[in-house]
């Protein structure tokens, strides 16, 4: 037999931030909520497809599941009843619901609430934005959804509504502009939002390469910021083959406790090679993207003379490099 939800109707009114936070804070209600909760079968509950949270750390879910096996679910989840399908949809507490499934529980304590779709989504958004344990990308997505739900108000008003600084809001939003490999590292917890801040404004290949360096070498924040400042003056490195980029970037990293990059002599030699490769790559790209048929007579004469001089230089370099030992 199907369970019927709580039935009192709710009168439409303006909700304050305190109202919304009070509705989504199980700790504030403590044991009173447990007393009000009912046990509902896990297979009669489903996630809300509009839930802003998209990422759940498998390891942390397993930890929560282990705790639930020992102590049970200490805080009830909140659900709404969908009479058309005789199902319960999660308002908040999806992580606890998932962990309870892993723990093998048949039921979970839940409080059934009657809320409008608008209020429900705002509650979920507010809860997710204020959770520091969520990754920055989920929080940024929640901020955008909240802005829409509030009538596309200015970002300043969104920050005021949520209760975070305007600068913090834009730091979270900036993660959405990072390349996908960097975003994936944030979602997986391999990089923090703070570690990626210095990457803003660098060419995409450099953003990806520096992110890989941070993961592989465990660079401290000060070194990440110093490296990013250096690379803003060396954006030509972005033209290198990705396989060559990481070794080149490591030339700019300071060893811990050192005041100068390592090793200075090798770096100078490497920098000369990078500059030559970069110039040749730019020339190659120009030649491949320029149609000779579009040149007038004067332009053809100038370029022909430039090719003559370049040919002489290239011949000299080929001859010199031909005697160089091959790399192993």
Q: For residue 204, what are the contacts with CB-CB under 8 A and spacing of at least 6?
A: 179, 238
Least confident of 121-130, 205-214, 264-273: 264-273
pLDDT tens per residue, range 131-189: 656 789 988 988 898 898 888 999 999 888 888 899 999 999 999 999 999 999 999 88
Burial 125-146 (b: 16+ CB within 10 A, else e): bbbbbbeeebbbbbbbbbbbbb
Q: Look-up: residue for tokens 């491949």?
A: 288
Examine the pLDDT at 24 and tell me if it is beyond 50. no
Q: For domain 116-176, say whether CATH 1.10.10.2830 is its number.
A: yes
- pLDDT band at residue 7 using 50, 70 and 90 as cut-offs: very low
3-state secondary structure of 141: helix
Q: For residue 178, what are the contacts with CB-CB under 8 A and spacing of at least 6?
A: 186, 196, 199, 200, 207
Boundaries of every domain in the chain: 37-115, 116-176, 179-254
Of 39, 59, 94, 225, which is the active-site residue? 94
- pLDDT band at residue 124 using 50, 70 and 90 as cut-offs: confident
pLDDT tens per residue, range 219-235: 889 999 999 998 888 87
- Known catalytic residue at 94: yes
Examine the pLDDT at 215 and tell me if it is beyond 60. yes
Query: What topology is assigned to 37-115 in CATH?
Result: 3.90.1530
- Residue 256: the pLDDT is 44
Question: What is the rounded average pLDDT of the residues 90-114?
Answer: 92
Round to whole Å and give the CA distance between 53 and 47.
10
Examine the pLDDT at 33 and tell me if it is beyond 80. no
Where does residue 268 rank: exposed (0-12), middle (13-18), buried (19+ CB within 10 A)?
A: exposed
What are residue 80's DSSP bridge partners?
A: 89
- pLDDT band at residue 198 using 50, 70 and 90 as cut-offs: very high
- Residue 254: the pLDDT is 60
- Residue 17: the pLDDT is 47
Round to whole Å and give the CA distance between 191 and 171.
15
What is the value of pTM for the model shown?
0.53
Same fold, 37-115 and 116-176: no
More confident call, 236 vs 121:
236
Round to whole Å and give the CA distance between 97 and 110.
10
- Residue 98 gets the label, from left (phi > 0), alpha (psi -120 to 50) or beta, of alpha
- Residue 272: the pLDDT is 64
Examine the pLDDT at 25 and tell me if it is beyond 90. no
């Amino acid at each position: 037999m199907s369970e019927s939800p709580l039935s009192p109707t709710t009168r439409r009114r303006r909700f304050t931030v305190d109202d919304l936070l009070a509705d989504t804070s199980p700790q504030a209600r403590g044991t009173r909520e447990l007393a009000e909760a009912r046990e509902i079968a896990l297979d009669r509950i489903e996630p809300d497809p509009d839930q802003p949270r998209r990422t759940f750390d498998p390891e942390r879910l397993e930890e929560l599941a282990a705790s639930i096996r020992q102590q049970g679910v200490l805080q009830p989840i909140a659900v709404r009843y969908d009479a058309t399908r005789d199902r319960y949809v999660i308002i908040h507490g999806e992580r606890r619901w998932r962990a309870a499934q892993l723990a093998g529980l048949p039921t979970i304590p839940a409080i059934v609430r009657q809320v409008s779709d608008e209020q429900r989504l705002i509650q979920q958004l507010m809860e997710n934005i204020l959770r520091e344990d969520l990754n920055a990308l989920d929080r940024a997505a929640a901020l955008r959804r909240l802005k829409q739900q509030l009538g596309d108000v200015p970002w300043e008003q969104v920050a005021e509504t949520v209760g975070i600084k305007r600068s913090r809001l834009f730091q979270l939003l900036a993660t959405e502009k990072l390349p996908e490999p960097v975003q994936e590292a944030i979602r997986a917890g391999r990089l923090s939002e703070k570690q990626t801040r210095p990457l803003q404004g660098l060419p995409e290949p450099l953003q990806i390469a520096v992110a890989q360096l941070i993961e592989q070498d465990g660079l401290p924040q000060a070194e990440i910021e110093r490296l990013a400042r250096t690379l803003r003056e060396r954006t030509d490195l972005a033209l290198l083959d990705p396989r060559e980029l990481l070794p080149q970037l490591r030339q700019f990293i300071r060893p811990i406790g050192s005041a100068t990059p390592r090793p200075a002599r090798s770096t100078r030699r490497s920098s000369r090679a990078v500059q030559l490769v970069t110039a040749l790559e730019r020339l190659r790209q120009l030649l491949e993207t320029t149609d000779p048929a579009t040149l007038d007579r004067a332009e053809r004469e100038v370029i022909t003379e430039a090719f003559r001089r370049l040919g002489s230089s290239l011949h000299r370099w080929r001859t010199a490099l031909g005697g160089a030992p091959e790399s192993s």
